[in-house]
Structure 1
Amino acid sequence: MTLSLDQITHLLNGLKSLPPLRKQEQTFMEIAGYPHFENVCSNILQFYLQPSNEHGFGSLLLDSLFTLINEKVVINGQNIDVRREESTSEGKRIDLIIESDDFLLGIENKIFADAYNRFDKYAEHLNKYLRKDRQVYKVLLSVFPIDTSKAKLHGFKPITYQLLFEQVIANIGSYFLTGREPHTIFLRDFIQTIQNLQEATSMDESRLLYFADNHESISTLFAEVIEMQKDMRKKVKQLNEVVLSDAVFSDIDQSPYPIKSGFWLPSAYLVAVSWYTIVISNSLSLQFDVVLTPKGWFFRFFDLRNKKNPKQVENWVNDRRIKVELNSEKNSPINFLIYKGENDSLPYSTSSEDSGRWALDMLKRLTDSLD
């Protein structure tokens, strides 16, 4: 099966109409390699749930939790104990317990795991703290919503991190001047890490609908793209064979400068490159790319040792009367110089012999010592 031009145009227009993907901000927790572990998240919660700790946010997180539980609790930050992994009589562990003279709050923390725990045993353990003058509260904190029709929670109130963070952000204004660096940054990083976990497993509805409606055509288009890439790679390799067969490579004395060659054949783009590195001096390695796209062939140059500053390369090609223009691509990691002189491009269908000789002529101009 192949796609008509109208079908391809329809696919591409649909893709263009989708809202732009929001680029996820990589967090320090993700860089460190600990985004998914419940223990790490519980340790962070323990620190910020203790009002007397040096973060400067006081009872911000506790106030936010009790707002979501819909309970009015007076919090005395000097008389609160926040502890981790308290064992039940059966040897099970409750992730977090916040205890004061006035209340006790037990929190079971779930990042990705389902709510399969024995919540009846957790509740039984927590209820031992119940007194006439002290209420016991139970929270199941999770990244994703819990299906309460399938899970027996025995009094644990399910709250998502999203709801908690929304409440924290709503309440944080009064703590703006008391929050201390770097703990403000750490809290923001923790919030962003959890948000990334939520977003990493879901796409916006418009994208899901687009791919659901067009998945067969998209698969066909992918297959055609792969065939196009194979043809492009074959052509650049054939070009390279023509170039390497010349004396400039077979006889080192024919070139005053060492030359290395190779390929850049990315899988994510419709582009194939046969590259040649000309080592001119200790400070200048001129990279000469012969680039093939579906539009055809062209040349580009850059300084392999200083990719953002093409000045030395520009001087070199100008001395050899090779006309170039600086590329206009925004946010490019390399400042390329594009050849804009005579015969500055060739059609895609050009034979390997002709394209190879075309590239070889430029290579010889670049290695001219001007003696």
Structure 2
Amino acid sequence: MDYNELDSFLNSVDIPEIKTKPKTFLGIARQPHYENVLSNLYAFYFDVNEEHGLKDLFIASLSQLIEESEIGKGKEIVFDDGFDIETESATNDGGRIDLLLSNDSHAIIIENKVYHGLINDLDDYWESIESSLEENKIGIVLSLYKIKQINHPHFINITHLDFFKCVMVNSGKYLLNANDKYLVYLKDLYQNIINLSTNTMEKKDLEFYFDNNQKINELLELNDSIRIHIAEEVEKGIGLLDYEFYIARRSECDTRRFISTKCDKLSIMISTEHLYTNVNAIGILVEVKGDAINACENLKKEYFTKEEFESSMDIDYKGRDDEGVFQLAGQWEYPITTEQISNLSQFIVDTIEKDHLLPIFNKLEDFFVKEEAKEELVEIA
């Protein structure tokens, strides 16, 4: 691996900043692309009498797009007397129309497509809806991307995104009387459609990768080697303490917990996650799990030497993380240089000695063992 060449590469290119798509409620619920979910949401907003207060915004926008299409120009679909909305409407041959907008003489048949291909029997859909004249009904395939050809003379293609763009453009005169809550939902649904309709990666980002993938892969290989080195150095450093621990790895390389063999609620945690950011530091902490913290209330300042106590915090604990673990001693960020990272194991040993973390750990371990023995005696009595 030619490090001079890699250094020259890194200094000569602007690495693209990858933008993430905004989260939506459907995305958080892991249902952003389910066709039946989208159909139900569309049905709600198509209903002119629903509490969203947007009246005929959706049907007016859809009618506009129909009239702009070649097939739609020859249609006369009028819902002046209102219309019914039905999802999963049964067809003559056992099919299901995703969304049907209809009254006695007019109908809009909507086939909702997201990631699935168009293999539906559109003839069955068309023949299943009885309207007096062909010009009074139309079929729509609502899809993420443009469909080049639909094999039915009365079906047109509209994309979800084009439909929503039309809705949003037309929404102005409806906003005053709309329910604010459902406007928020509408905007979130629109963002969900944008997320589904746009690629995660931009063309320029893909071009950057494929133009430079050899050097990028070399950098990834270097990154993996460094992470392995750091993980090995962490475990080597703990090994140099000549003390027996159980090892728990919260992630492959970033965090190690070295758990007491006498008390499984006591551990030394070493975190190297900041080494992979702009913060050159590692975390070394003496920790105790959840309910074991209650026993620490019996600890007295005199239990530790002055130096040990200054590295711990008696009853005023350093804090608790998301896993319910309290940090009793040490620091989240010990600054470290590149030279020290090359011999990380010795840095860990030196830091643990400097901050008296092993004596603190030993005294806590003895304390917990005695507390457990007391509890056992109480239970026997």
Question: When the two structures are superposed, what TM-score results if normalisation uses the length of structure 1?
Answer: 0.70
Give yes or no for contact 1:123–1:138 (8 Å, CA) kept in 2.
yes
The Cα offsets for residues 307-349 of structure 1, whole Å up to 9 and x where unpaired, read as xxxxxxxxx9998666xxxxxxxxx99x975447xx9996223
Query: Aligned residues, how many?
Result: 320
* Aligned residue among 220, 227, 230 for 2:225: 227
Give yes or no for contact 1:142–1:160 (8 Å, CA) kept in 2.
yes
Partner of 1:253: none
- What's the offset of the Cα at 1:122? 2.5
Give yes or no for contact 2:21–2:195 (8 Å, CA) kept in 1.
no
Give yes or no for contact 1:296–1:347 (8 Å, CA) kept in 2.
no
AA of the residue aligned to 1:165: F
Query: Which structure 2 residues correspond to residues 250-265 of structure 1 after superposition, within 5 A?
Result: 262-263=248-249, 265=251
Give yes or no for contact 1:297–1:346 (8 Å, CA) kept in 2.
no
SS at structure 2 position matched to 1:70: helix
AA of the residue aligned to 1:140: V
What is the distance in 2 between the residues matched to 1:299 and 1:109?
52
What is the distance in 2 between the residues matched to 1:319 and 1:169?
64
User: Which of the two has greater helix per residue?
Assistant: 2
Query: Which structure 2 residues correspond to residues 121-136 of structure 1 after superposition, within 5 A?
Result: 121-126=124-129, 128-131=130-133, 135-136=136-137
Give yes or no for contact 1:233–1:265 (8 Å, CA) kept in 2.
no
Judged with a 3 Å threshold, the aligned counterparts in structure 2 of structure 1 residues 112 and 153 are, in CA distance, closer, same or farther, namely farther
Judged with a 3 Å threshold, the aligned counterparts in structure 2 of structure 1 residues 14 and 203 are, in CA distance, closer, same or farther, namely same
Give yes or no for contact 1:320–1:365 (8 Å, CA) kept in 2.
no
Partner of 2:91: 88
* Aligned residue among 27, 47, 52 for 1:50: 47
- For the pair 1:59 / 2:59, whether they are aligned, the reply is no
Judged with a 3 Å threshold, the aligned counterparts in structure 2 of structure 1 residues 198 and 11 are, in CA distance, closer, same or farther, namely farther
AA of the residue aligned to 1:157: I
What is the distance in 2 between the residues matched to 1:75 and 1:365?
82
Partner of 2:318: none
Judged with a 3 Å threshold, the aligned counterparts in structure 2 of structure 1 residues 159 and 9 are, in CA distance, closer, same or farther, namely farther
The Cα offsets for residues 238-286 of structure 1, whole Å up to 9 and x where unpaired, read as 001112x15xx7xxxxxxxxx997555556xxxx4555699xxxxxx99
Query: Which structure 2 residues correspond to residues 179-198 of structure 1 after superposition, within 5 A?
Result: 179-198=178-197
What is the distance in 2 between the residues matched to 1:48 and 1:160?
17
- What's the offset of the Cα at 1:21? 0.7
Partner of 1:113: 116
Judged with a 3 Å threshold, the aligned counterparts in structure 2 of structure 1 residues 260 and 170 are, in CA distance, closer, same or farther, namely same
Give yes or no for contact 1:240–1:274 (8 Å, CA) kept in 2.
no
The Cα offsets for residues 19-77 of structure 1, whole Å up to 9 and x where unpaired, read as 441343142x233343232112112211211212222111111111111112686643x
Partner of 1:325: none
- For the pair 1:143 / 2:144, whether they are aligned, the reply is yes
- For the pair 1:348 / 2:345, whether they are aligned, the reply is no
What is the distance in 1 between the residues matched to 2:53 and 2:171?
11
Give yes or no for contact 2:22–2:191 (8 Å, CA) kept in 1.
no
- For the pair 1:70 / 2:71, whether they are aligned, the reply is no
AA of the residue aligned to 2:206: L
AA of the residue aligned to 1:10: F
Question: When the two structures are superposed, what TM-score results if normalisation uses the length of structure 2?
Answer: 0.68
What is the distance in 2 between the residues matched to 1:291 and 1:166?
47
Structure 2 segments unaligned to the other structure (5+ residues): 69-75, 261-265, 291-303, 312-320, 364-381
- What's the offset of the Cα at 1:108? 0.9
SS at structure 2 position matched to 1:347: helix
Query: Which structure 2 residues correspond to residues 1-371 of structure 1 after superposition, within 5 A?
Result: 2-11=1-10, 14=13, 16=15, 18-27=16-25, 29-70=26-67, 75-76=79-80, 79-100=82-103, 103-126=106-129, 128-131=130-133, 135-148=136-149, 151-199=150-198, 202-243=200-241, 245-246=242-243, 262-263=248-249, 265-266=251-252, 272-274=254-256, 289=270, 291=272, 293=275, 298=282, 338-339=333-334, 347-350=340-343, 352=345, 354-361=346-353, 362=355, 363-364=357-358
- What's the offset of the Cα at 1:224? 2.4
- What's the offset of the Cα at 1:98? 1.1
Structure 1 segments unaligned to the other structure (5+ residues): 250-258, 279-284, 307-315, 323-331
- What's the offset of the Cα at 1:301? 5.7
SS at structure 2 position matched to 1:24: coil
AA of the residue aligned to 1:110: K
SS at structure 1 position matched to 2:110: strand
Partner of 1:309: none
Give yes or no for contact 2:308–2:360 (8 Å, CA) kept in 1.
no
Judged with a 3 Å threshold, the aligned counterparts in structure 2 of structure 1 residues 231 and 81 are, in CA distance, closer, same or farther, namely same
SS at structure 2 position matched to 1:85: strand
The Cα offsets for residues 288-309 of structure 1, whole Å up to 9 and x where unpaired, read as 6464848977556698899xxx
Judged with a 3 Å threshold, the aligned counterparts in structure 2 of structure 1 residues 23 and 47 are, in CA distance, closer, same or farther, namely closer
